[in-house]
Structures are given as C-alpha cells and as structure tokens.
Chain A
Amino acid sequence: MSGQKDKKESEYWSGIVIQLVSRIMCPFIIMFGIYLITHGHLTPGGGFQGGVTIAASFILFALAFNKKEGRQMVPSFWLKCGASGGILIYIGVGLAGILLGYNFLANKVAGIFPRGLPGELLSSGSIFWINIGVGLAVASIFTDLFFSFLEERPDETCLKTKQELPYRRRWSDVDRNGLK
C-alpha cells in the first residue's frame, strides 16, 4: 500500500490536454473571481461567490497536476494568513466606524470610505472593502480545506491503522484510464 502511494507521489494525475487547458484557464478564472469580488455591489456576485471561484482555480490546478505542484502555488502559511487577514479586514472596517464615534459597521453616516454615485466602482462605502476581505478569507479557507483533505494521512497513534487495512482509494489512483 505505502509503496504504491510513494511511487505515485511525483507523477501527474491527468493527461497533457487537461494540464494545458488548466494552465491556460487558471489566470482567467482568478481574474473572473476578482471581477466578481470587486463588482459585488454593482452586479450579482460578491465576496463569497468570487472567493469560491478563485479557490476553484487553485483546486483545478492541483487536480490537473499533482499535490506537490498545487501546493507550490499556495503555501500553507499564506493560506492561513489570508484566512485570518480577510476576517481582520472585515473587523477593521467595522472598527473604523467606532473610531469616528458611530456604530460598528456604520456605512453611510460615518462617511470614511469613498461614496461615489451608485454605479461607480468606488461607491457604496464600506461594502466594497468588506467584499475584498470576505473574498480573501473565503478563497483562502476553501483552498486550505481542499489541501487539508488532500494531504490527510492515517494517524499512527490510531490502533487499527497498524493492522492491515483494505486498500484505500485515493485521488492519486485516478488514472488516465479511469479508476484502478
């Protein structure tokens, strides 16, 4: 079991066509996610949807190549920083209202953030910045969830894993010819 797993470690998980297409498509998917985030107050979309789209591009890249190549794009430390930093941006936008003597998350009455005409990009005050924070947090959290599921290893302290378990089917078993 372990020998088979180690042999697969450096192999690619899919064919040349999927690799090429995902390599071309990934920047455009990320760009579309950024568009969804930054135009969240003008058109349907927002931080959650755009963040999920960005996370999907990293997941696509990791599935087209392999675990190591995917991890090189998004290191674990920066994912944790993004997840925490997104929520901190949100809380910071809320606290900016308090610092000026208004409520938490005060938007229009506080007037700290640019309020253009409705329809412009830098309009609607704090909603634009909250969208960026939420998008950063959601993208990091979903990518980190996927990679933590991908890199999961059986626990050595568990009793039953020392015995011979039935062979576990992994993502790395998905070959070009289908499931083994």
Chain B
Amino acid sequence: MKKFLPAILFTVFAFSMIIVIMGFNPIGDPHLPGYADFVSSPISKHQVVKQADSIALHYNRHACSDTGAMDIIAAIIFDYRGYDTLFETTVLFTALIGVLSIIGVKES
C-alpha cells in the first residue's frame, strides 16, 4: 500500500488537472490568448472571422516589412527581442563557465 500511495496521489492530481483543462478552448481554435479579439464563428468557418489587432497579429502582418526576414520567428527572436536573445546566449556562456569551474578540466 505504501508503495502505491504516491501513484494514486499523482493520478488524482492528474485527473484534477485534466478536469481544469477540459474548460480550455479546443486546440486549433482561433479563440486563443493571442487571438482573443477574434469576433466569432466555429473552427470550420474561420476564414470569415475578423481579426482585431493583438501582438501576434501585428507580428504576423508587419514582421516581413519591418525586418525583411521571411521567417517571422527569426524576426521576433533576433530583431524585436534582440536583447533577449543576446542575454540568452550569455546565459549559455555562463553555464559553460560554471561547468568548467565546477568540473575543472586540468591541463597535465
């Protein structure tokens, strides 16, 4: 019994989370956080819905003309969020320095 108690507890936890998740929008629905301003309509007719201006729609429309990059994700991570990516690379570099200082490869 003691061995199975954690498994039972985690199953209960999973089911409670699944019950919460059932209240979310279905996957592929345009009524998602980035597209919260969509006006209407079920999935099958989403060609006719009207889009309001959210940040994702702004990126989708203006990224190509703003930066000249066809890949919108590259435009976001290297141009709109250039500082973020710079310090992301710095985080990797710091991790390398941390590993080298912990493990300490000795020259001999």
Taking beta carbons and an 8 Å cutoff, which residues of A are in contact with B? 40-47, 76, 83-84, 86-87, 90-91, 94, 104-105, 107-108, 115-116, 118-119, 123-127, 130-131, 134, 137-138, 141, 144-145, 148-149, 151-153, 155
Q: How far is the CA of A125 from the CA of B67 in the complex (A)?
A: 7
In contact, A87 and B82 (Cβ under 8 angstroms): no
A-B residue pairs in contact (CB < 8 Å), sample of 9:
A40-B71, A42-B71, A46-B74, A87-B89, A118-B69, A118-B70, A119-B70, A127-B67, A127-B75
**B67, B90, B95 — most chain A CB neighbours (10 Å):** B67
Q: How many residues of B contact A (CB 8 A)?
A: 29
Top 4 nearest A-B pairs (CB, nearest first) are: A41-B69, A124-B68, A124-B69, A105-B82
In the complex, chain B residues whose CB is within 8 Å of the CB of A118: 64, 68-70
* Contact of A134 with B85 at beta-carbon distance under 8 Å, contacts A118-B64, A123-B69, A124-B67 already known: yes
List the A side residues contacting B100 at CB < 8 Å: 144, 148
A43 and B71 within 8 A (CB): yes
| Set of chain B residues within 8 Å of A130, measured between Cβ atoms | 78, 82, 85
Residues of B within 8 A of A (CB): 64, 66-71, 73-75, 77-79, 82-83, 85-86, 89-90, 92-93, 95-96, 99-100, 103-106
- The answer to whether A141 touches B96, judged by C-beta atoms less than 8 angstroms apart, is yes
Instruction: Evaluate whether A86 and B89 lie within 8 angstroms (CB atoms) in the complex, with A118-B68, A124-B69 already known.
Output: yes
The number of residue pairs between A and B whose CB atoms lie closer than 8 Å in the complex comes to 109
- Give every chain A residue within 8 A of B73 (Cβ-Cβ): 44, 46
In the complex, chain A residues whose CB is within 8 Å of the CB of B85: 90, 130, 134
Contacts A41-B74, A44-B73, A152-B105 given; does A144 touch B96 at CB 8 Å: yes
The DSSP consensus for interface residues of chain B is helix
A70 to chain B minimum Cβ distance, whole angstroms, is: 14
A36 to chain B, nearest CB (A): 11
The minimal Cβ–Cβ distance linking B61 to chain A, given in whole angstroms, is: 14
Q: Give the distance in Å from the alpha carbon of A107 to the alpha carbon of B64 in the complex.
A: 13
List residues of chain B with CB within 8 A of the CB of A116.
Answer: 68
Q: In the complex, are the beta carbons of B93 and A87 less than 8 A apart? A: yes
CB-CB < 8 A to B69: which residues of A? Answer: 41-42, 118, 123-124, 127
User: A141 to B90, alpha carbons, bound, how many Å?
Assistant: 11
